[in-house]
Structure 1
Amino acid sequence: MSTEIEKILKVYKSVSPEELLMSKVPGAKVPKEDVQLINTLRKMGLRDEVINVLLDYVLMTTNMKLPKPYVEKIAGHWTRKKLKTAEQAMEFAKSEHQIIQEYHKRKEQNTKINKNKIQAIEDAVKNREMSDEQLGKFVRTIFLQK
């Protein structure tokens, strides 16, 4: 385990979620909505060290926002997965993030492929070199390809 990760884990295990949020904006108070959210997460059975990982993960992936429904959705997932330690939560968050990144990458690739297919059809229509029957076969062929 890297020294950097060990330092982060030490923080997650030694500070309250309220303190973690205060450290993000020194000198600012934690909004009451965020305190209420933390209390909700505790009532769901999450330990403070897991809540800290969850809060940090959401802040990092949402441009420093804490959308309550999103946080609660992830918390419910983590509760069902029985995550009890900061280490477990970090590993789980990392694997979930990789899955999400791969999904977006595949989606982007599929979008590019579909745009290319549509362009090929548009080109075939513009060229008017095919009969309607040939064009229909061409379109079916393009969209049946993977």
Structure 2
Amino acid sequence: MRGLTLPIALGLAIGYFAGLYSITHEYHFSPFLLVSTGLISLCTLIIYGLDKRAARREHQRTPENTLHLLALFGGWPGALVARPLFRHKTRKQPFVGLFWGTTVVSLLMLGSLLFSSPLAPARDWLDEKALQWQLDIQQHLNTVNR
């Protein structure tokens, strides 16, 4: 098999989440960002596994565009792990090139949100909303526990 091995893919995915935490931990939206990215990555990994299963059984497949969209919207760590885990989509060159392209674009979009001055109002809005959600949840839990 060419490409990344499973231990390297896992290391990169774990490193990504650790880096994402270290960059965002001071923001109130950090837990929401980490959980949502983790969930879409997990869903992407599962969908890759289901697609591999469908390929073996000659059943209807998941369209490649769907796999690329999942990677683009933050699921690329799950796809990165799924490819060597299931030995799926590791050799088909157009797919591999598009996968890495969507990964780069996903990272650029997230980097723009986190570091771009023009997007500072969006970051502030997310932080305010996340703080309000956290306070609402805490208030609800306090009410339930009485």
Normalised TM-score (structure 1): 0.26
Give the structure with the larger helix fraction. Answer: 2
Q: Which has the higher contact order (CA 8 A, sep 6+)?
A: 2
Normalised TM-score (structure 2): 0.26
Larger Rg: 1
